[in-house]
Amino acid sequence: MELSTTAWIVLAAALATYLTRIGGHVVLSRFKRIHPRVQAALDAVPAAVLTTLVAPAAVFSGPAEIATIIVAVVATFYLPAMAVFALGWAAILAFRALIG
């Protein structure tokens, strides 16, 4: 059985993802304590990744996406992160149905 090009790409991406994750763990496990600046940088990574996903939608999309971003930004001041994700998901579905 021969794998298609797509299957090879998926396998290569999975291997690359695994190696980068385990590599980060191996490097950080060599230190007894992590410097507070390094810890702060690592804590900022999820927000940075989320920003790279949301920013293009805010700039290049329609009014439904912009309204959802506004709702999510306001919700972050009052709700925990998972609730904000759920609210954002519900808001984009509702705004796309209503606004288009």
pLDDT at 3: 79
Q: How is 48-85 classified by DSSP, letter by letter?
A: HHHHHHHHHHHHHS-HHHHHHHHHHHHHTTTS-HHHHH
Task: State residue 18's pLDDT score.
Answer: 94
Burial 32-59 (b: 16+ CB within 10 A, else e): eeeeeeeeeeeeeeeeeeeeeebeeeee
For each of the chain's 100 residues, which pLDDT tens digit applies? Answer: 677 899 999 999 999 999 998 988 888 888 888 889 988 988 888 888 878 887 887 778 889 988 998 999 999 999 998 999 899 999 999 999 998 7
pLDDT at 1: 61
Rounded to whole angstroms, how far apart are CA atoms 27 and 63? Answer: 44
Would you kindly state where each structural domain of the chain is located, as residue ranges?
A: 47-98
Question: pTM of the prediction?
Answer: 0.54
pLDDT at residue 56 in the model: 84
pLDDT for position 89: 92
